[in-house]
Amino acid sequence: MRNLLKFALLGTLLLTFAYGAYKPPNKSDCKGVTVGKVFTCLYRAGDYMAKTFFLDIKKASSLLEFSKSCIAMQNCLEALRCGQGTEHLAMYERMRGQCVTMHFYSTDFFSCLTKLENSKPKPECYEKWDTKLVNEDLTEVSPDKLCKKMFGTDNCMKKVVKETCGDKDWQLLLQHFNEDTPGLKHCDFSNV
């Protein structure tokens, strides 16, 4: 799960840069973009990559530091995107979704995540749980597939979370993916 999470985060950043390739900005839209902001964002990208590499999902401090770096990186990309129109907005929203999810994992859901990580043996559903937004070839996961896999095969994470952490944590996870994650607003989780 840890390597899949790192791959997903790195893939999201790479796709964001790829889709957000530089276009000459429309000066009326970009009053705040400066060379300084560009270099600051490059620094933030390095920090984001380092935090991705050293991310330890078993430590709340590591998750929290990563989520702060993720939000800072996302804010930089948002500032640099000016003048590029709305065609890349979906990619920025995906990155925002990853940031929101990492913050959720590091705060509200951390105690449950710890219980799942420390389970002996780890539930097979949890081991295979895949919330990546990109495939291994760095192509985006289709929206329908994303909705279907968010809670594991046949929504098996519902049972695992309820048994390991309780109904309250299950409701938190369901609410997070149902209401708080921008990239999943189109999903209908009413049958989960």
pTM for the full predicted model? 0.67
* Mean pLDDT of the chain, nearest integer: 75
The domain locations on the chain are 2-20+30-184
pLDDT tens-digit readout, 103-156: 888 889 989 988 998 899 989 998 888 777 666 665 677 778 888 888 888 899
CA-to-CA distance for 192 and 71, rounded, in angstroms?
29
**Which residue numbers in the chain have pLDDT < 50?**
4, 7-8, 11, 13-28
Residue 90 is predicted with a pLDDT of 65
179 in Cβ contact with 189 (< 8 Å): no
The dihedral of CA 79, 54, 129, 19: what is its sign?
Answer: positive
Tokens of 131: 């919330």
Provide the angle, in degrees to the nearest 10, between the axes of the packed helices 167-175 and 156-165. 140
The size of the chain, in residues, is: 192
